[in-house]
Amino acid sequence: MELIGDWQSYLLLALAGLFPNEIWRLLGLWASRGLDEGSELMVWVRAVATAILAGVIAQVLIAPPGALAGAPLWLRLGAVAVGVAVFFTARRSTLAGVAAAEIALMGGLYLN
């Protein structure tokens, strides 16, 4: 009895999706050895990553894709407000802020 599905599909997903991405992550990790985290290059990289995240958040708020389009605007804005509050409360942790916003959105959708 199979619990989830065909194991060959998962193997293909790992080979085609996971490994090619992990190679680039490992190369980036290797190439960044010895870089000063306070250098102008690293400050720029963090700024670009933050701008990309802000762009994705703005797109989800203004023109949500798929099933998220059914979520009311007040719920989407409330989830962002929760995420921002947790971000600053958790010592500027992007992971904590994004996770809190996702949990707030899913909880709101469940209760709505």
The range of the structural domain enclosing residue 18 comes to 1-31
- Name the phi and psi angles at 65, rounded to 5: -85, 155
Three-state DSSP class for residue 90: coil
Residues 43 and 25 in one domain: no
Encoding tokens for residue 110?
Answer: 């469940």
Domain count, the chain: 2
Task: Write down the pLDDT at residue 95.
Answer: 93
Task: Write down the pLDDT at residue 79.
Answer: 94
In the chain, count H helices and then E strands. 5, 0
Residues 26 and 76 in one domain: no
Task: Write down the pLDDT at residue 3.
Answer: 54
Residues 60 and 87 in one domain: yes
At residue 88, what is the residue type?
Answer: F
Distance CA 41, CA 56 (A): 23
Task: Write down the pLDDT at residue 1.
Answer: 46
**Per-residue pLDDT tens listing for the chain (112 residues):** 455 667 777 788 778 887 888 888 899 889 888 888 888 988 998 899 999 989 998 998 899 988 888 899 999 999 999 999 999 999 999 899 999 999 999 999 999 8
